[in-house]
């Protein structure tokens, strides 16, 4: 399958640079189970799309304040360092700028000198292995001098870095947020629980590989990045119980979806596991572990766009994205969201002709659609 088949046109002004004042005021594009119809909602209307007995699976990872600003000790040149992965107590794999000036043996001084780092080695992809020198607890020092890193397509600094964290984030370890969860408020989560929907957490620490474009001509030749995940016994039991009682398993975000597919059997039952996953989901892959997905809009030709295409069909997703662009939806990390039901008919997934989505407005029994003029 060709990477170019996952391209779409997006006006730059529709890439959201800042979050909305209130998380659940973002828009939500719903795709029906047959993937031929859509409806436009606000995210706060999500409870209308959920049913008692459903299970909503959330990624509880928290973004590290992993962006460190400093200078090269001998020349004073400004240095930016992004922590990627801890190797041992004091050593981290890092992305540094300017890379050509930072060779093994160089020392970086951060903040007022309470943290320094020595370049130990140059790793694949140009990353650096850095040994940090400090007193006390590294995490406490990081919280004091570090900054939450933002995606490369966001050029506006956040006034409140908590807006790049989900309200339920608890397990620190990511360098990027699981952005589908940014739309939830504590009040909305409480409302969902009160409606009889089980909310289950898992953990996947999101790395910068999530922004890496597919550079190969054929997607099958792409090397997927690897990320740490954990699914507890209790969480696995609750997810399997939802399936057993006839409820839907709804993955919040592609990170949750990737974990579920990494630990499921042929029947879609999941098992407790901790480890790393480099699963690459694209059209032709059979989704087994979840029935619907809540997700943001993804970059053209990205692995995440390919994942949602495996769920709904490539032509259907591209048609939905065309509607979103034409309707003024906001894209990427601080943008709007989708609720996609898994296609049950294999013909929908393999269909390669043009798709024209129809609006679901006015259909009997369908949840309320926001009134005309409410969109801003």
Q: What is the pLDDT of residues 41-82, one digit of tens each?
A: 999 999 999 999 999 999 999 999 999 999 999 999 999 999
Whether 291 is in a domain gets the answer yes
What pTM, to 2 d.p., does this model score? 0.92
Examine the domain organization and report whether 116 and 231 are in the same domain: no
Domain ranges, residue 79: 67-145
Provide the number of structural domains found in the chain: 2
Would you state the pLDDT for residue 34? Answer: 79
Examine the domain organization and report whether 106 and 217 are in the same domain: no
Examine the domain organization and report whether 237 and 320 are in the same domain: yes
Whether 272 is in a domain gets the answer yes
Query: What token pair was written down for 26?
Result: 């973002």
- Vertex 279, ends 273 and 282: CA angle to 5°? 140
Strand pairing category for 107-110 and 115-122: antiparallel
Predicted confidence (pLDDT) per residue in 234-263, tens digit: 999 999 999 999 999 999 999 999 999 999
More confident residue, 139 or 362: 139
Q: Do 302 and 296 form a contact (C-beta atoms < 8 A)?
A: no
Whether 151 is in a domain gets the answer no
Q: Which residues contact 89 (CB under 8 A, 6 or more apart)?
A: none
Predicted confidence (pLDDT) per residue in 308-332, tens digit: 999 999 999 999 999 999 999 999 9
Examine the domain organization and report whether 37 and 128 are in the same domain: no
Examine the domain organization and report whether 58 and 119 are in the same domain: no
Mean pLDDT, the chain, integer: 93
Examine the domain organization and report whether 240 and 281 are in the same domain: yes
Examine the domain organization and report whether 339 and 265 are in the same domain: yes
Examine the domain organization and report whether 57 and 83 are in the same domain: no
Predicted confidence (pLDDT) per residue in 99-112, tens digit: 888 999 999 999 88
Examine the domain organization and report whether 262 and 122 are in the same domain: no
CATH number at residue 112: 2.40.10.240
Q: Which residues contact 351 (CB under 8 A, 6 or more apart)?
A: 313, 315, 316
Examine the domain organization and report whether 117 and 191 are in the same domain: no
Would you state the pLDDT for residue 374? Answer: 39
pLDDT band at 362 (very low <50, low <70, confident <90, very high): low
């Amino acid at each position: 399958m060709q990477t170019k088949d996952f391209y779409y046109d997006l006006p730059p002004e529709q890439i959201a640079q800042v979050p909305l004042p209130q998380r659940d005021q973002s828009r939500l594009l719903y795709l029906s189970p047959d993937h031929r119809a859509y409806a436009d909602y606000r995210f706060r209307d999500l409870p209308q799309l959920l049913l008692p007995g459903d299970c909503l699976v959330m990624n509880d990872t928290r973004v590290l304040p992993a962006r460190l600003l400093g200078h090269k000790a001998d020349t004073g040149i400004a240095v930016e360092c992004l922590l990627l992965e801890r190797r041992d107590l004091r050593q981290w794999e890092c992305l540094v700028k300017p890379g050509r000036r930072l060779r093994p043996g160089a020392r970086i001084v951060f903040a007022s000198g309470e943290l320094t780092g020595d370049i130990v080695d140059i790793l694949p992809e140009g990353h650096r292995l850095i040994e940090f020198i400090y007193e006390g607890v590294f995490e406490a020092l990081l919280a004091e001098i570090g900054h939450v890193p933002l995606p490369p397509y966001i050029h506006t600094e956040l006034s409140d870095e908590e807006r790049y964290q989900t309200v339920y984030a608890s397990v620190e370890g990511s360098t990027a947020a699981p952005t589908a969860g940014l739309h939830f408020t504590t009040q909305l989560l409480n409302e969902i629980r009160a409606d009889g929907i089980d909310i289950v957490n898992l953990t996947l620490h999101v790395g910068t590989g999530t922004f890496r474009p597919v550079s190969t001509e054929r997607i099958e030749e792409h090397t997927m990045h690897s990320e740490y995940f954990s699914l507890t016994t209790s969480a696995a039991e609750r997810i399997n119980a939802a399936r057993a009682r006839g409820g839907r398993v709804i993955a919040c975000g592609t990170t949750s979806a990737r974990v579920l597919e990494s630990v499921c059997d042929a029947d879609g039952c999941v098992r407790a596991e901790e480890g790393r996953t480099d699963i690459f989901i694209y059209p032709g892959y059979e989704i087994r572990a979840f029935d619907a997905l809540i997700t943001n809009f993804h970059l053209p030709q990205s692995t995440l766009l390919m994942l949602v295409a495996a769920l709904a069909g490539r032509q259907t997703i591209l048609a939905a994205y065309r509607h979103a662009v034409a309707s003024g939806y906001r894209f990427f990390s601080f943008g709007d969201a989708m609720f996609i039901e898994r296609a049950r008919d294999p013909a929908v997934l393999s269909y390669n002709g043009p798709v024209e989505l129809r609006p679901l407005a006015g259909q009997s029994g369908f949840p309320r659609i926001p009134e005309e003029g409410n969109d801003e």
